[in-house]
Amino acid sequence: MAEGPKSQMPARRKARKRALDVLYEADQRDLPPVEVLAGYLQRLTPPPPEHLEYAIGLVEGVAGRLDRIDELIASYTEGWTLDRMPVVDRNLARIAVYELLYVDEIDDAVAISEAVELAKQMSTDDSPRFLNGVLGRIAEYATR
């Protein structure tokens, strides 16, 4: 089958975007991510998208390790608290840190570049550079 147009988002990026949507909503509404995920899944119309399994894994993985992930982000964001970070950036960082630490089949460079790309599309002008720096430092820590 022929490859779709270049504007078509790769499956894992779509999964990250869906995970971001769920984590963003959970963060904004101060609800557990798995609760928001359950509601999200109920609203989906069949057939489920092929990338859904990876998105679910990201949300559940971040939710299950949120304290550790947030602790790492907070310790590597020089001069910033998690609360001061834009909600999009905070949740992109959470997804990327989860991938850096717990998803072996994703290269560190891919996890970082995907977070940066989504930040370019969805956050502030400063966000890509900020996330690249923070995630780069966390990746160095993770490979020690």
Domain containing residue 110: CATH number: 1.10.940.10
Phi, psi (deg, nearest 5) at residue 127: -60, -45
In whole angstroms, give the CA distance from residue 102 to residue 24: 21
Residue 6 domain flag: no
CB atoms within 10 A of CB 68: 13
Burial of 112 (0-12, 13-18, 19+ CB in 10 A): buried
Residue 135 domain flag: yes
- At residue 5, the pLDDT reads 41
Higher pLDDT, 73 or 143: 73
- Quick one: pLDDT band at residue 141, thresholds 50, 70, 90? confident
Contacts 24+ apart (CB under 8 A), 25-30: 26/63, 27/87, 27/90, 27/91, 28/87
Say whether the peptide bond before residue 86 is cis (omega within 30 degrees of 0).
no
Minimum mean pLDDT among 1-5, 65-69, 77-81: which range? 1-5
Instruction: Report the pLDDT averaged over residues 112-135.
Output: 96
Are residues 83 and 75 in contact, defined by beta-carbon separation less than 8 angstroms? no
List pLDDT tens digits, range 25-50: 999 999 999 999 999 999 998 898 88
Residue 8 has pLDDT above 90, yes or no: no
Percent of the chain predicted with pLDDT > 70: 93
**What's CA 27's distance to the chain center, in Å?**
13
Residue 75 domain flag: yes
- Quick one: pLDDT band at residue 9, thresholds 50, 70, 90? low
Residue 46 domain flag: yes
Higher pLDDT, 94 or 47: 94
- At residue 143, the pLDDT reads 78
The number of distinct structural domains making up the chain is 1
Greatest Cα-to-Cα distance within the chain, rounded to the nearest angstrom: 49
